[in-house]
Structure 1
Amino acid sequence: MKPAEPSNLTRDQRRERTRQVIVDAAWQLSRERGLTGWGLRDLGAQVGMRAPSLYVYFASKNALYDEMYAQGYRELRAVYESLRTGDLGAEAQVRTGARMFFQFAVADSARLQLLFLRVIPSFVPSATSYALASEVLAELSQSLRAAGVIDPAALDIWTAMLTGLATQQVSNDPGGSRWADVVDRTVDILLAGTRLA
């Protein structure tokens, strides 16, 4: 339900707060029913609004997905930023980053699908939201180069392999550790196979 608004908030702050309530409810519905298993009426009921009122905050359902996508990549960027604050060597940073990415991906299957799989055929991230994804990829690419990985295809190989492990974990062993247990081994294979002499 829409939270009670403190009286000292500006109109813009109230609007942003309501937008966040809507986004949070959309995530909740996505986790319960899947990303495409709910409509704006369901969402409106969840936040105590009529469905047409949602258009005051988001121009379309895809615009709402776009905000969810951006939020997901801001969260992933924060994961990588926390890694940078540590005192790890380059290779250890790559290994730790792989584990952190895997944990991030499997922690929320709806977020995993929205960020890394094309499960909503009509949804294409906006340039602004996609720029957040590009920042994360640039961070990963920089970490790989620092660890001696200079193969131009390395970034594509890394994202495919790590996302693949995460989707296997979520799909075939939710709550288990089957694919989590091979993340380090996968990193060994990827480091060996993507370093160029």
Structure 2
Amino acid sequence: MSTAQELDRRGRRRQQTIDEILDVAVELMEAEGVAALSLSAVARKVGMQPPSLYQYFPSKMAIYDALFQRGAEQVLEAQRKARAEATTTDQRELGLVGITAFSRWCIQNQVLSQLLFWRTVPGFEPSPEAFAPAVDGLQDLRSYLEQSVAAGLLHPDAASDDGLALYTAMTAGVLSQQMANEPDATYENGRFTRLMPVILDMFYERYKPTRGKK
């Protein structure tokens, strides 16, 4: 076996171990709580000594950072895939497609959702690299709102920083209520997630094209 092949094999093996560590971390966070993650518990469940774990993650915050990036990449991919496969060109319908994909992912990945959208770990701040997919997601949202403005469906203020803040606060608020009160419900059956179409209607009403005109 050549040196390059050996290095490639080692790289794959290392990545497999990293993925296993992260999967185990999520399992433990589901059982014990996001902020209660223990490196020793992760090492035991993976089948290695804690010092060996440090070869992959030097600290608990490093594991949180890797999980933040994993979650941010997944939720971004879920929304982009849903919009790409949508059979409509109607802007409001595309908005609901995006919200639905986002909400379903959050409900199916509640541990990562807590890490991404609610500050459940004191002192944790994602690195710029881990946060980059989240920035891309916000830019996708701004682009969607700008397209709705260009189509004459929204006032230009909808694509402003305040517009994005209101949009994300409304959707995240509904999801927070859903996961706090009915964590086992599906998106379609959730008492709060069923309101997502209403949330979108409220946003469009708030930023209707005639806003501010008398």
Relative to the length of structure 2, the TM-score reads 0.84
The aligned counterpart of 1:192 is 205
Matched to 2:112, the amino acid is R
Give the aligned length.
191
Give, as a single letter, the amino acid of the residue that structure 1 aligns with 2:200: V
Out of 156, 171, 182, the position equivalent to 2:180 is 171
Q: Which residue of 1 aligns with 2:112?
A: 111
- CA shift, 1:84, in A, is 3.0
Match of 1:82 in 2: 81
State, as a whole percentage, how many aligned pairs show the same letter: 28
What secondary structure, in the 3-state scheme, does the structure 1 residue paired with 2:87 have? coil
CA shift digits 1:76-120 (9 cap, x unpaired):
111122123223222211111112212212222211110001111
Equivalent runs, 1:22-171 vs 2, <5 Å:
22-85=21-84, 86-89=86-89, 90-148=91-149, 149=154, 150-151=156-157, 152=160, 153-171=162-180
Identify which range, 48-57 or 81-90, moves more after superposition.
81-90
Q: CA deviation at 1:187?
A: 0.7
Are 2:24 and 2:46, in contact at CA under 8 Å, matched by a contact in 1?
A: yes
- Give SS of 1:121's match: coil
Gaps of 5+ in 2: 1-5
Residue deviations 1:118-142 (CA, integer Å, cap 9, x gap): 1112111001111111001111111
Segments of structure 1 that go 5 or more residues without pairing to the other structure are 1-6
**In the alignment, what sits opposite 2:3?**
none
Instruction: Return the alpha-carbon distance in structure 2 between the equivalents of residues 104 and 98 of structure 1.
Output: 10
Code of the aligned partner of 1:88: T
AA aligned to 1:87 is T
Scaled by the length of structure 1, the TM-score of the pair is 0.91
Do the aligned residues in 2 keep the contact of 1:83 with 1:93 (CA within 8 Å)? no
Distance 1:45 1:194 in 2: 53
The root-mean-square deviation of aligned C-alpha atoms, in Å, is 1.7
Q: CA deviation at 1:8?
A: 10
Contact 2:76 2:137 in 1 (8 A): yes
What secondary structure, in the 3-state scheme, does the structure 1 residue paired with 2:88 have? coil
Separation in 2 of the partners of 1:114 and 1:18? 22
Query: Which moved further from structure 2: 181-190 or 81-90?
Result: 81-90
Rg larger in structure: 2
Conservation of the 8 A alpha-carbon contact between 2:83 and 2:98: no
What SS does structure 1 have at the residue aligned with 2:79? helix
Counterpart residue type for residue 145 of structure 1:
E
Given that 2:35 and 2:122 are in contact with CA atoms closer than 8 Å, whether structure 1 keeps it comes out as no
TM-superposition CA deviations, 1:150-181 (whole Å, max 9, x none): 32111111111111100100101222310011
Contact 2:65 2:130 in 1 (8 A): yes
Paired with 1:131 and 1:108, the residues of 2 have a C-alpha distance of 19
